[in-house]
Amino acid sequence: MSAHKRANQKRRGSRRFEDLPECDSDEAAAWFTGQLPDSWFTDPVEVLVDRDEIIVTGTLALPKNIPDGDDAAAVAAESRISAWRESTRAERMSVAEVAQVRWQRHVTWAARCGDREVRFTSAAVPVMTRLLFEDRQVLDTLIDAGVARSRSEAMAWCVNQVGQNRSEWIDKLREAMTEVERIRNEGS
């Protein structure tokens, strides 16, 4: 390998997406199901996969005999998740180590109980982007308004907002595209 190629490889990082082993979420879900005790979850595990992370989510049984009260079910669910997290830590870490070697991705565990879902040690992956002046001003405005402390945090906030509102925004975008198409057809 030439010195130029080695230098470029070092700049890009030692791990490129095309070098990662394939990780299909259905195959990974089946693999995790085989590795985990049947008693852990009430439903099949859900597995999400991207270039950096595998998220394994299991559903825990809601505790029986929850006392009456506005927050009782939420407190019971939170407590069930916390107890499960602590009691299964060693076994989960052992399974995660094997999975991380197999697929070369960070494994994040999550548990769902009732209406509550908690992810443990989720990967926060840096993402680089180039922004024009006007786009940087948007991020700086969020910082000046106290919404974020840095451009990185402001960008994460923006991505979160898009994620929360995407269905509403996409529906509006589709409606607008339909209207544009209707107007075009009227002009033909």
Each domain of the chain, given as residue ranges in start order, spans 3-120, 133-187
Sign of CA dihedral 132, 134, 138, 143: positive
Q: What tokens does 174 get?
A: 């589709």
pLDDT at 6 over 50: no
Return the DSSP state at 27.
H
Lowest mean pLDDT among 1-15, 31-45, 78-92, 95-109: 1-15
The confidence band for 174, taking pLDDT boundaries of 50, 70 and 90, is confident
**Parallel, antiparallel, or unpaired: how do β-strands 53-59 and 106-113 relate?**
parallel
Q: Are 107 and 93 in contact (CB under 8 A)?
A: no
Tell me, what amino acid is at 28?
A
Q: What tokens does 79 get?
A: 């407590």
Lowest mean pLDDT among 74-78, 80-84, 97-101, 177-181: 177-181
d(CA 155, CA 151): 6
pLDDT at 84 over 70: yes
HSE value, Cβ hemisphere, 13 Å, CA-based, for 120: 19
Buried b (16+ CB within 10 A) or exposed e, 109-147: bbbbbbebebeeeeeeeeeeeeeeeeeeeebeebeeeee
Q: What tokens does 55 get?
A: 């998220």
Return the DSSP state at 69.
S
Q: How far apart are the two ends of the chain, measured CA to CA in Å? A: 59
Q: Could you tell me how many residues make up the chain?
A: 188
- pLDDT score, position 11: 39
